[in-house]
Amino acid sequence: MVKSDPGFLSFVVLLVGCNVANPPGSTGGVSFDGGSDGGACERGVVIVASDYTSTNIVISSLEGVTQSESFVSSGAVKPGLSLALSGDVDVPVVPPASKRVVIIDRYGTDVLTWMNLADASVIAQLPVGTGFDSNPHDYVEVDSTRAFVTRYSTNPAPGKQPFDQGGDLLILDATKFAITGRIAMPEENSALQPCPDGMTWIGSDVVVNLQRFSADFSQVGDGRFVGVSPATNAVEWTVNVAGLQNCGRVAVSPSGNLAAIACSSQEKANAWNPAGSDIVVYDSTTTPPNELRRLGVGTRLNAAIQPSIAFATEDAILATTYGGNATPGDTSFAVSATTGAVTPLSQETQAYVFGAVHCSPGCGDVCLLADAAANDLQRWQVSSDGGFIALAAATVDPDIGLPPRTIGGL
């Protein structure tokens, strides 16, 4: 599923992967050749392969070619890894400026791990639970010394430890690996919690999407994302996505002029309401971003749009649907941010098997989709006019065999 809430994952967030009886040793670090872009491009991707009980971290090129098939895994014994990886793990989509690999261990573990890409050594670990299951969801380095961490959960009984409120951004000293402050996220409805989720940059602001669920996930508010200034450590603006629910991380076009958000609607018993699901496009040159158009893809496809989307070109957006409505399995498609024209790309026979999408326009011409059913990465070569040419799928994890779920930047 798209969120790691207690009802879905509490039974699998063990500190040691149970089904990896003899976890293999690390296949080591990766040294990517320096490019001519001055560091503006991603070097590769970090892939989380998981069955939600065990986790394996894979390092791949931007084209999806595996470079280290087990950078670190559940149950691995490494110096500095005092808390082993659970089965509920994510990685930042925005590449850390420090060039480190950052691993986010989520609900029930609540730990960040920093690792050195070149030799797969552990640099530091930091618990961010502060006395409750904080469920960290994302990490962004905002300057040479500070980072923000979204904490999805809100503490029902705060006041026992410093920074134990939750529903916030933690401010970290990313050189001393310590918590230095927090930024509360707005929520005016007392029945809902802000549920801060994914982050990205628009200009000089860190953009945070708020999923806005009640504590038991029975209620959901309309979509919302906010802009947080690292200069003031405060929310500077808010955008409400009226009529749509359960929205994902904001995606930004290569020029930075457009932004888009995908909303899935509220899930009830594995069913979705397409009327509450769509992709919305914004003019991100304004502050706050101004809504330009809704693409109408939820109702046209009679499906819920998954929250992970990526711009493949200035106009083409790679997106996926959840199966269960018009099709029994998940589907992938490209959609024009200008016209809303849809190009079908692929379809699985099962639902809830597609994970994150990833494109690197201007740095690489290949888009990736994590496909847990096929246990590989679907891949497309993207032309400058937004055409998608299917490439051979890439096997991510040939030894342990865990399916790919999420993809982060390096």
How does pLDDT run across 230-239, given as a tens digit for each residue? 999 999 999 9
Dump the DSSP string for 117-182.
Answer: TTT--EEEEEE--TTS---EEEEEE-SSSEEEEEEEEE-SS--SSTT--EEEEEEEETTTTEEEEE
State the pLDDT confidence band at 219, using cuts at 50, 70 and 90.
Answer: very high
Q: What is the pLDDT of residue 269?
A: 73
Q: Yes or no: say if 264 and 278 are a contact pair by the CB < 8 Å rule.
A: no
Determine the pLDDT at residue 306.
97
How many Å apart are CA 41 and CA 365, to the nearest integer? 12
Contact (Cβ atoms closer than 8 angstroms) between residue 276 and residue 244: yes
Q: What percent of the chain has pLDDT above 90?
A: 81
**Mean per-residue pLDDT, 64-89:** 85
Does the N-terminal peptide bond of residue 156 adopt cis geometry, omega within 30 degrees of 0?
no
Q: What's the pLDDT at 399? A: 83
Q: What is the pLDDT of residue 37?
A: 64
Query: What is the distance between the alpha carbons of residues 157 and 12, in angstroms, rounded to a whole number?
Result: 24
Is residue 12 pLDDT above 50, yes or no? no
- Per the DSSP assignment, residues forming a β-bridge with 336 are 316
Residues 82-95 have pLDDT tens digits of 777 888 999 999 99
Mean local confidence (pLDDT), 322-336: 91
User: According to the model, what pLDDT value does residue 2 have?
Assistant: 36
Closest CA to 322 of 299, 306, 340: 306
Confidence of residue 267 (pLDDT cuts 50, 70, 90): confident
Q: Is the pLDDT of residue 35 over 80?
A: no
Q: Is the Cβ–Cβ distance between 105 and 88 less than 8 Å?
A: yes
Residue 233, amino acid = N
Lowest mean pLDDT among 16-20, 175-179, 217-221: 16-20
Say what the pLDDT of residue 23 is: 56
What mean pLDDT comes out for the span 14-39? Answer: 62
Average pLDDT for 185-201: 97
**pLDDT tens digits, one per residue of 100-115:** 999 999 988 999 999 9
Q: How does pLDDT run across 349-377, given as a tens digit for each residue?
A: 999 999 999 999 989 899 999 999 999 99
DSSP 283-332: ETTSSSPEEEEE--HHHHHTSEEPS--EESSSSEEEEEEESSSSSSS-EE
pLDDT of residue 251 exceeding 90, the answer is: yes
**pTM recorded for the entire structure:** 0.92
pLDDT for 21 beyond 80: no
The residue type found at 1 is M
CB 16, CB 75: distance < 8 Å? yes
Q: Mean pLDDT for the chain?
A: 91
- State the Cα–Cα distance between residues 312 and 176, nearest whole angstrom: 37
pLDDT-above-70 percentage for the chain = 93
Q: Residues 125-150: what's their mean pLDDT? A: 97
Q: Please write down the long-range contacts of 267-272, taking CB distance under 8 Å and 24 or more positions apart.
A: 267/1, 267/304, 270/324, 270/351, 270/352, 271/324, 271/325, 272/303, 272/304, 272/322, 272/324, 272/325
At residue 260's C-alpha, the angle toward residues 136 and 209, to 5°, is 25
pLDDT at 84: 76
Is 6's pLDDT higher than 50?
Answer: no
Domains, the chain, with CATH or none: 6-409 (2.130.10.10)
In this prediction, residues 209-213 reach a mean pLDDT of 98
